[in-house]
Structure formats: C-alpha cells, structure tokens
C-alpha cells in the first residue's frame, strides 16, 4: 500500500529554481517537500566553474550544489529522492505519485529542468557511457591524455572543451554553424589552447566503434572525413523534462511549460519555474528568479 503524506507545497526538482522556491516556502513556514530524481543542483552540479552569479566571483558547480543542499537542511527542509510517475490536480489537493509513495499538497511547483539533447544517430544509444558523455567534469578523467571531440559551439560546449583541454591530449570542437555561439569571454579562453581544434560548418554523420567509440565520420563543408577518437561529449542543447505532465499542463510546441507572470500554469494551483518553462533566456539567474516568483505566488495562493 502506498504511503500518503500531506504538505503545503511540493516542489518537483532540486535545481536552482526548485531550491530557491523551497527557501522562500520554508521561510514562510510552509510545510514543503522537494522531490528530486537525480542530483541536487541539477545541471549546475556538473558545471566546472560558475562566474555569472551576483556576489560570487567564481565557484565550482558541485560546491554550489552542496551549499544549496546545506541551506535547505538548515531551514528544516526535506529532500526526497525518487522519480515522479504521475501528477493529478483534484482542485483542493494536488497528488504526486512516485514509484513507492503518494504525496498530497495544496500546491505544486514544477522545477523539472531539462535533459541533454542527443544527435539522433542509430548507434548513439549503444555508446552512451562507452565513449559518449555529456559532462566533462563528471567523465573527463577517463580520457586523460586521450583524444576527444566536443559536439556543439555554445557555452556548455566551450566549458566542456576548456575542462577537457587540461586533461586530454587533443580536443576537437565540432560546430554545425560557421561560428561559435558561446559568450565572447569563453571563446577568448579557447583560442590560446594549442590542443583544441575548432571545426565549423561540420556535423556528425556516423559514430564508429565496436564495444566503445573509436571515431566519428563528420561532414565538413560538404566533404566527409574521419576523426579517430577515444570519446565524444555532446553539448548540443537541452530539451525539457516535461513528459510526465502532459496533457495535464499546457506545453508549447517544443515541450516547455507555458506560465503566466505569476509562474502559474493553466492547471490551477500548479506553478512552474526554471529551464522547463517557456522563455527566451535560460540561465542560473533566470532560474532562481522563476523560483522566487513561483514560491511567492504559491504562498499567496495557499493563504487565500
């Protein structure tokens, strides 16, 4: 039999948006539960260095994640690890079902975050964890003094490339556009690295290998060529983790949650915050902004 517990607010996701929302909720004496299926801090837990957060000149992602967890614990907050498999809105109460528990709350805040986008090649799933990675901070150690490729040209790709350049013998950066799209500051840090080679106007057509990745075939400016590799890191963007809430919550054409200015969704009493929300800019600072608004709106909703 599933165990049932009651809360004022349930927050699904313990990334920056979810943690920020929890801080405001706990400080307002709302009985709050945070449910996280993977890692506290979300994507920032795997960030090698964060330099764009006000008041903190530079901090490693794992360190910031630890501080977020400590802050929740100091406020008496509860973080439960588990995967949400169903959400129901019964007007007066919201029901959140995980694999072994059922929780009830007056309000839900969805801080579901995003997951890494894949290339869509047929052999890709086979090589996940066997030469295909997403996080240099997490997996870079396995490629010490080896040759790798980073696929992508944005901020996350540059961060991965910089991290890997300190470990690997050779790092290819493969970008499908004719220019890198990362912040100029990151691009400036890449340029002096002699072991980084940037290849633009190129896309991956095939992943080679038997038990693990041994190379890739790319098409560069209309011509195919093979790069011999020990591994590759995908940094081509992210997609929202919103499968569990459809059709309960209105999503845009790309799967992001549609909210109003109070971060409320079309389903009354269910709010959303962070990278899973439809918006133009997704940064650490915009995530905590969403979390603040969602929490304050949820608190007001609960006290009507």
What is the spatial distance between Cα 66 and Cα 73, in angstroms, rounded to a whole number? 11
Q: Which residues pair with 36 in a beta bridge?
A: 81
Strand 93-98 versus strand 101-110 pairing type: antiparallel
SS3 278: coil
Per-residue pLDDT of the chain (304 residues; tens, 9 = 90+): 455 569 999 999 999 999 999 999 999 999 999 999 999 998 888 787 888 899 999 998 899 999 999 999 999 999 999 999 999 999 889 999 998 899 999 999 999 999 999 999 998 999 998 999 998 888 899 999 999 999 999 999 999 999 999 999 999 999 999 999 999 999 999 999 999 999 999 999 999 999 999 999 999 988 999 999 999 999 998 899 999 998 899 999 999 999 999 999 999 999 999 999 999 988 999 999 999 999 999 999 998 8
Q: Which helix (H) or strand (E) holds 207?
A: strand 202-209
Which letter, b or e, does each residue of 78-98 get, where b requires 16 or more Cβ atoms within 10 Å of its Cβ?
ebeeeebeebebeeeebbbeb
The rounded Cα 233 to chain-centroid distance in angstroms is 15
CB 123 within 8 Å of CB 206:
yes
What is the spatial distance between Cα 56 and Cα 49, in angstroms, rounded to a whole number? 11
Exposure of 106 in the CB half-sphere (CA atoms within 13 A): 16
The rounded Cα 53 to chain-centroid distance in angstroms is 17
Write the pLDDT tens digit of every residue in 15-53: 999 999 999 999 999 999 999 999 999 888 878 788 889
Q: Which domains does the chain have, with CATH numbers?
A: 3-115+239-302 (3.50.50.60), 118-234 (3.50.50.60)
State the pTM of this model.
0.83
What are the C-alpha distances in Å from 84 to residues 13, 103, 110, 177? Answer: 10, 10, 11, 37
SS3 282: coil
CB 102 within 8 Å of CB 4:
yes
Residue recorded with tokens 């313990």: 14
First to last CA, the chain: 34
Burial (0-12, 13-18, 19+ Cβ within 10 Å), 222 = exposed
> Which residues carry out catalysis?
135, 138-139
What is the spatial distance between Cα 274 and Cα 254, in angstroms, rounded to a whole number? 15
Residue 152 is given by DSSP the state -
């Amino acid at each position: 039999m599933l165990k049932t517990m009651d809360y004022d607010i349930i927050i699904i996701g313990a990334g920056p948006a979810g943690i920020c929302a929890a801080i405001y909720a706990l400080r307002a004496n709302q009985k709050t539960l945070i449910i996280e299926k993977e890692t506290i801090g979300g994507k920032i837990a795997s960030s090698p260095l964060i330099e764009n957060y006000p008041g903190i000149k530079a901090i490693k992602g794992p360190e910031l994640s630890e501080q977020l967890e400590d802050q929740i614990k100091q406020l008496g907050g509860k973080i439960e690890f588990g995967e949400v498999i169903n959400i129901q809105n019964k007007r007066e109460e919201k029901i959140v079902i995980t694999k072994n528990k059922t929780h009830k709350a007056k309000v839900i805040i969805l801080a579901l975050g995003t997951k890494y986008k894949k290339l869509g090649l047929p052999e890709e799933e086979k090589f996940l964890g066997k030469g295909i990675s997403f996080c240099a901070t997490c997996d870079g150690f396995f490629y010490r003094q080896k040759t790798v490729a980073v696929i992508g040209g944005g901020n996350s790709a540059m961060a991965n490339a910089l991290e890997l350049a300190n470990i690997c013998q050779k790092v290819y950066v493969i970008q499908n556009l004719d220019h890198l799209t990362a912040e100029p500051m990151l691009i400036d840090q890449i340029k002096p690295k002699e072991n980084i080679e940037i290849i633009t106007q190129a896309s991956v057509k095939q992943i080679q290998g038997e038990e693990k990745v041994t190379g890739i075939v790319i098409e560069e400016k209309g011509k195919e060529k093979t790069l011999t590799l020990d591994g590759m890191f995908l940094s081509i963007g992210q997609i929202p983790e919103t499968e569990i809430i459809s059709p309960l919550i209105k999503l845009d054409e790309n799967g992001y949650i549609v909210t109003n200015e109070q971060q409320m969704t079309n389903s009354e009493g269910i709010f959303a915050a962070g990278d899973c929300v439809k918006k133009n800019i997704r940064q650490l600072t915009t995530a905590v902004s969403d979390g603040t608004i969602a929490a304050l709106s949820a608190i007001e909703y609960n006290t009507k």
